[in-house]
Amino acid sequence: MEEVKEQVISLPRLGEPAPAFEAVTTHGVLKLEDFKGSWLVLFSHPADFTPVCTTEFIAFAEIHPELQKRGVELLGLSVDSVSSHIAWVRNVEEKTGIKIPFPIIADLSKEVSLAYGMIHPGQSKTETVRCVFIIDDKQIIRTILYYPLTTGRNMQEILRIIDALQTTDANAVATPANWKPGDMVVVPPPNTQEMAEERVKQGYECVDWYLCKKKL
């Protein structure tokens, strides 16, 4: 009797290079390396012509200008065909007046979906769940978000995460809970006792030596 092998689903990890791909999209064939030098939000949706996904695509289109201001490109994906994607995008514009300006991968082979761990059999064996991958300009995965099929994504949180990542990269700091642009940032904790004693003299707002904030 032939042994049936269970399909192994890979899950990318933070801090590692994003899996390379070459895929058919609504804007032609694109590779991951085409986005090198820019940040990228790669997101998957379960299916075209579905209600929650339609609200999300409208919302992604609405934040697209804000993403571009931050040097961030946007790339959608589902396992639907490119013809389905094109028909859906045209329908969204016809019914709502919203133009979808970013490309959508038609991942019929599921090659990209499996490489990025977008198919979760506990949710659906055939559709991708709602994933968001924030990939930096060096093509390193910086954030991974997974949402169930029934829950639409929060666009302001995606923008906030990008702002936080770009702020911490530029200033060698961290961001506290509920941080938003303009708020105080967290200063890296001291590595020696001497640095800890000096910390309170440096003009930071400190709860104690290990938790200090400053304005940028």
CB 110 within 8 A of CB 119: yes
What residues does each domain of the chain span?
22-152, 172-214
66 versus 130: the higher-pLDDT residue is 66
| Residue scoring higher pLDDT (199 or 124) | 199
* Assigned CATH class of 22-152: alpha beta
Residue 55's pLDDT is 95
State both tokens at 116: 């990025």
Catalytic residue status for 212: no
* pLDDT, tens digit, 9 for 90 and up, residues 151-193: 999 999 999 999 999 999 999 999 999 999 999 999 988 888 8
Of 27 and 129, more confident? 27
Q: Which residues contact residue 112 at a Cβ distance below 8 angstroms, ignoring those fewer than 6 apart?
A: 19, 21, 23, 77, 105, 118
Q: pLDDT over 70 for what percent of the chain?
A: 91
Which CATH number does the domain 172-214 belong to among 3.20.20.150, 3.40.50.720, 3.30.1020.10, 3.90.650.10?
Answer: 3.30.1020.10
The domains spanning 22-152 and 172-214 adopt the same CATH topology: no
Helix/strand/coil percent split, the chain, to 5: 30, 25, 45
Catalytic site residue from 53, 131, 206, 212: 53
pTM over 0.75: yes
